[in-house]
Structure 1
Amino acid sequence: MGKSGTKEDNQLQALTQKLKDNYHIFEKLFIFFILAQPFLDLLSYFSIPVSNPIRLLVIPIGALYMLSYPDRRWSRNTFIYMLVLAVYFAINFGVNMIWKDPVSAAGELTFILKTFFFITALLVYVMIFRHIGENREWKVIVPKYLFINTSVVSVVMLVAELTGTGKRSYDYLEKQGHSGWFFSGNEISAILGMGFCGAIIYYLFIKKGLLAQIICTALIAVMIWAMLTIGTKVAFGAALLVLGMAFLLLLIQAIIKRNNFIQAGVVLVLLAVTVFVSPEMPIGNNLGLSVDMANEKAAQQQEQAEAPPLPEEEGGEVPPPGSVRQWSSWQLMALNGREEFFGTVLYYFERAPVIQKVFGMGIGGNYTGDEPRIIEMDILDWFFGFGYFGTLILVLPLLFVIGSILVFIFKQRFRTVSATALFSGVGACIGLGAAFIAGHILSSPASGFYLALFLGFLYGLVKQKPKKFFQ
């Protein structure tokens, strides 16, 4: 018996050592995985259901990478966190299978696994860029891959536009815009918004030949067109913010170093054209509608509040519970058409048993219809879906990574902030902002992947020794 136990221990040690000897294979695999993203999304559109299963492989492979990680403290702590998170998700699933009626086991598991994917990807990319450190190659490869991905998405949208086969971004007929051959307009909007930051890094701050620079300029123009064509605020805001920042940085560089005047001029032209054509693009139409609709809803609410209630027999269709609430026009703008869903899920949460408030109500809360309906604002969906305890566990890695980044920056008195780090930070902020206001990030593998990548990339950049800003 003792010999058998010793043999098993030796086999386990040999397996662990083999993992540690091959950790670099996992790192190369995860770096290459960046390039696969737009093609996985295209396969989903053409009803080839492989994207989610392939992405969910990140969870077990990421766990193996954590076990093989050279830094034992990081390896131990991240793996323990993953085990705690897995136990919590099992409790969340069990609680909702007992307390929810109706309940969909497949829906609950999908929501859990998609969230688990984001957390795993975040930890994996932070660990990768922390480890490969001073290797300069990754600082070129990541922006290059992001440029390629964003180009693929934008060119596909252009082909869809030319062939009239693009999927509408909104169900409302009044709103315009399409997402090409991709399912979710909000997801592609966030992907383009974040990806454009990486594309700008490659376009402006990584040396290329003249022909390559001309081709890149044309592709940047297509990206901007795509971001205006989707018709969503996230992509439009990202385009203006990134182009504006790029022009200011290039202008400062041109004044100080007496070069890059042409590049600054090109970016200024791109920015000016973007501002000029925006009113005629889908985003111009949709922005005007959003303001009008918010003001109109606020006015209707005021009229309904002042009007006498209808007799019960004259009432029409009963609205979902909790959905009829008073909202100000700015709240309606912030909720962007989600006020009914938010009011309903809040109503469910207020009346949920204590155990569901602690461990979460799962996807859509304690819904009464056939299908769960989420708010599509990720932080709120996390809170109602995973409860007080689950939300605390889930935000810990985010708080740790963001806090560490800020500590590195202030500790080095901003000397570790380069142009690459600055635009990576903007990409991360766009992703986090979209998670708050538009959703489809933290529990969506397609776009959540890019937020995890940008946070990991930024973590690795600011942890380096101070270098020149434009290096």
Structure 2
Amino acid sequence: MLSENSKSNKFENFLLIFILLQPILDLLTAFCIMVLKIDTTIGVITRLFVMFLSGIYILIQTKKQGNIKYILYIILVGIVFTIGLVNNKLTKDPMVLTEEIKFIAKALYPFVMLTCYVFVFKSLKEKSHSNSKMRDYVTYASLIIGVVMLASITTGTDYNSYEWVKLGSRGWFYAGNELGSILAIMCPIVILYSIERTKSIGKAYYWIPSILVVYSLFAIGTKVGVGAIFGSMAIAVVMCFIQAFTQRKDGKKHAYLLNGFLAITVFVGILAYTPFSPFMKNMGFHFQLIEQEQSAKKEEKKKEEAKEHKPPVTEQEKEKEKAKEKVAEKKEETQALIFSGRQLFEQMYKDFYNEAPMSQKLLGMGYAGNYKEQPKLIERDFHDWFYSFGIIGFILLVIPFLYFGIKFIACIFTKFKQIFTVKYAMMIAAILLGLGISFMAGHILIAPGVSFYLVIIMAYLIVDLEIE
């Protein structure tokens, strides 16, 4: 019989390989949904099973000093979610129990996996194993995605990112938004891999994974993807030259200068291609749609005013009214551009919340709120958390982000020289991209296939900087 340590070691090695398996699970998910026409996919089943095994692994690891707080937190969140579920069973109609449980599992997934990978990286650190394996496996996973995107687009067998008008490709994957979010989080880590591996001009081929990620993000055609490209490349360029200057005496100056110039070369190529990319064409479609909607509203308003027979107004009053309309139009246009209509669903949830009983305000309205017809999420993760799990649930869910965020800020003051490097700048960029996208566009924290990448990077940073 294998010893407990041996089993733990095997599971830790499996969890590292599990990073590499993510795009394969996503491809199998797409195959199940689009070809086999089944909703219960291999990807969902596998991730839930690994989450269950991770829970057992966490329980085994709690006997180690400092680990008990993680399991206590997960148990507390589980209890609050269960009470909320029971409350919704009594107060919500309609309510689909399976959908509610599935939504809770998706919300718990990043916290279980964050805890699990913190323990895994701590174990690797204790054994003096290189934690760069995380960076390497994320890069290998990105290569699988990049090759699939390239092959599918080249052969013309890819699927469109959008159902109508807008341009973009999601390769052979199922969800374009989630794929874009995955690659956006990966982008800084893959660029970091390229920088750390390229020691001379002869090894410039290590930039191929970064170019593939950039290609894939452009191909998808989303705002998220292009934002990630520009943000990641700008940070890489600046930090390479800063580190070349700060480490000019220890022999690494030339490698960072080389990578700085390689990053600039790639960046110039990105700038040259951007005007011809699906993203720019989609922005044109988006502005046209906004203008059409605003014109339709103006026509409707004119008809209403004609029916009401309003008394004549002075030129000064007309000018004031026009100025107000312009401000309102600009605000509406900005919101539509940033949130792509999500603000309308947010207003719907606000109405649900205002009409909900106090128990639901505290414990949440569950999956999709108190809907009457078709369930629909806001697709802004923190907003969905608040309305789904209430004030108590939301506070519990954001505690880890606040806790580790404060610990990291404190760490900056004590380890500034260590942190102010390309490595940590790119890792922090990946985390901020993940959290920023989850706030603005969703498809991160309640999408297990995406939240996975965010939490493994967070887990690495927590262990590497010792900010538990």
TM-score tier by shorter-chain length is 0.7 to 0.9
Alignment of 1:158-237 (within 5 A): 158-171=150-163, 173-206=164-197, 213-237=203-227
Task: Please state how far the C-alpha of 1:378 moved relative to its aligned partner.
Answer: 0.5
Contact 1:20 1:69 in 2 (8 A): no
Aligned residue for 1:361, secondary structure, equals coil
**Could you tell me which amino acid in structure 1 is paired with residue 347 of structure 2?**
G
Alignment of 1:167-316 (within 5 A): 167-171=159-163, 173-206=164-197, 213-254=203-244, 257=248, 259-260=254-255, 261-294=257-290, 297=293, 300-301=296-297, 304=300, 307-308=303-304
Aligned residue for 1:424, secondary structure, equals helix
Q: 1:410 to 1:18 in 2, by over 3 A?
A: farther
Task: Please state how far the C-alpha of 1:250 moved relative to its aligned partner.
Answer: 2.6
Question: Which residue of structure 1 aligns with residue 89 of structure 2?
Answer: 97
Q: 1:251 to 1:76 in 2, by over 3 A?
A: closer
Task: Please state how far the C-alpha of 1:159 moved relative to its aligned partner.
Answer: 1.2
Q: 1:131 to 1:364 in 2, by over 3 A?
A: same
Structure 1 residue ranges without an equivalent (≥5): 1-14, 312-324, 465-471
Question: Which residue of structure 1 aligns with residue 24 of structure 2?
Answer: 39
CA distance in 2, matches of 1:389, 1:64: 26
**Could you tell me which amino acid in structure 2 is paired with residue 176 of structure 1?**
L
CA distance in 1, matches of 2:401, 2:245: 38
Q: 1:449 to 1:201 in 2, by over 3 A?
A: same
CA distance in 1, matches of 2:344, 2:8: 48
CA distance in 2, matches of 1:252, 1:156: 35
Aligned residue for 1:153, secondary structure, equals helix
**Could you tell me which amino acid in structure 1 is paired with residue 277 of structure 2?**
M
Alignment of 1:69-468 (within 5 A): 69=61, 72-133=64-125, 137-171=129-163, 173-206=164-197, 213-254=203-244, 257=248, 259-260=254-255, 261-294=257-290, 297=293, 300-301=296-297, 304=300, 307-308=303-304, 328-369=332-373, 371-463=374-466
Contact 1:177 1:231 in 2 (8 A): yes
**Could you tell me which amino acid in structure 2 is paired with residue 56 of structure 1?**
L
Q: 1:358 to 1:216 in 2, by over 3 A?
A: same
Task: Please state how far the C-alpha of 1:184 moved relative to its aligned partner.
Answer: 1.2
Aligned residue for 2:254, secondary structure, equals coil
Task: Please state how far the C-alpha of 1:157 moved relative to its aligned partner.
Answer: 1.0
CA distance in 1, matches of 2:156, 2:354: 46
CA distance in 1, matches of 2:286, 2:4: 53
Between stretches 199-208 and 354-363, larger displacement belongs to 199-208
Contact 1:166 1:179 in 2 (8 A): yes
Contact 1:140 1:202 in 2 (8 A): no
Task: Please state how far the C-alpha of 1:179 moved relative to its aligned partner.
Answer: 1.0
CA distance in 2, matches of 1:70, 1:368: 43
Task: Please state how far the C-alpha of 1:300 moved relative to its aligned partner.
Answer: 4.8
Q: 1:415 to 1:299 in 2, by over 3 A?
A: farther
Task: Please state how far the C-alpha of 1:351 moved relative to its aligned partner.
Answer: 0.9
CA distance in 2, matches of 1:186, 1:389: 29
CA distance in 1, matches of 2:9, 2:81: 30
Q: 1:20 to 1:404 in 2, by over 3 A?
A: farther
Q: How high is the TM-score relative to the length of structure 2?
A: 0.84
CA distance in 2, matches of 1:299, 1:448: 39
Aligned residue for 2:166, secondary structure, equals coil
Aligned residue for 1:263, secondary structure, equals helix
Contact 1:149 1:195 in 2 (8 A): no
CA distance in 2, matches of 1:58, 1:310: 64
Identity %: 27
Q: 1:264 to 1:135 in 2, by over 3 A?
A: farther
CA distance in 1, matches of 2:169, 2:60: 43
Aligned residue for 1:74, secondary structure, equals coil
Task: Please state how far the C-alpha of 1:448 moved relative to its aligned partner.
Answer: 0.5
Aligned residue for 2:12, secondary structure, equals helix
CA distance in 1, matches of 2:23, 2:130: 20
Task: Please state how far the C-alpha of 1:132 moved relative to its aligned partner.
Answer: 3.4
Structure 2 residue ranges without an equivalent (≥5): 308-327
CA distance in 2, matches of 1:309, 1:379: 40
Deviations 1:259-295 (A, max 9, x none): 1344333221111111111111111112333345445
Q: 1:255 to 1:57 in 2, by over 3 A?
A: same
Task: Please state how far the C-alpha of 1:379 moved relative to its aligned partner.
Answer: 0.6
CA distance in 2, matches of 1:310, 1:345: 34
Contact 1:404 1:459 in 2 (8 A): no
Q: 1:360 to 1:18 in 2, by over 3 A?
A: farther
Task: Please state how far the C-alpha of 1:344 moved relative to its aligned partner.
Answer: 1.8
Q: How high is the TM-score relative to the length of structure 1?
A: 0.84
Between stretches 386-395 and 332-341, larger displacement belongs to 332-341
Q: 1:389 to 1:264 in 2, by over 3 A?
A: same
CA distance in 1, matches of 2:209, 2:27: 19
Task: Please state how far the C-alpha of 1:456 moved relative to its aligned partner.
Answer: 0.8
Task: Please state how far the C-alpha of 1:167 moved relative to its aligned partner.
Answer: 2.1
Question: Which residue of structure 2 aligns with residue 322 of structure 1?
Answer: none
Task: Please state how far the C-alpha of 1:210 moved relative to its aligned partner.
Answer: 7.2
Task: Please state how far the C-alpha of 1:25 moved relative to its aligned partner.
Answer: 3.5
CA distance in 2, matches of 1:166, 1:378: 28
Q: 1:295 to 1:123 in 2, by over 3 A?
A: farther
CA distance in 1, matches of 2:98, 2:426: 38
Q: 1:160 to 1:79 in 2, by over 3 A?
A: same
**Could you tell me which amino acid in structure 1 is paired with residue 438 of structure 2?**
A
CA distance in 2, matches of 1:232, 1:103: 33
Task: Please state how far the C-alpha of 1:255 moved relative to its aligned partner.
Answer: 5.4
**Could you tell me which amino acid in structure 2 is paired with residue 188 of structure 1?**
L
After the TM superposition, list the runs of 4 or more consecutive aligned residues in structure 1 that deviate by more than 6 angstroms.
208-211
Q: 1:310 to 1:162 in 2, by over 3 A?
A: farther
Kindly report the root-mean-square deviation, in angstroms, between the aligned alpha carbons of the 2 structures: 2.8
CA distance in 2, matches of 1:96, 1:411: 46
Between stretches 154-163 and 249-258, larger displacement belongs to 249-258
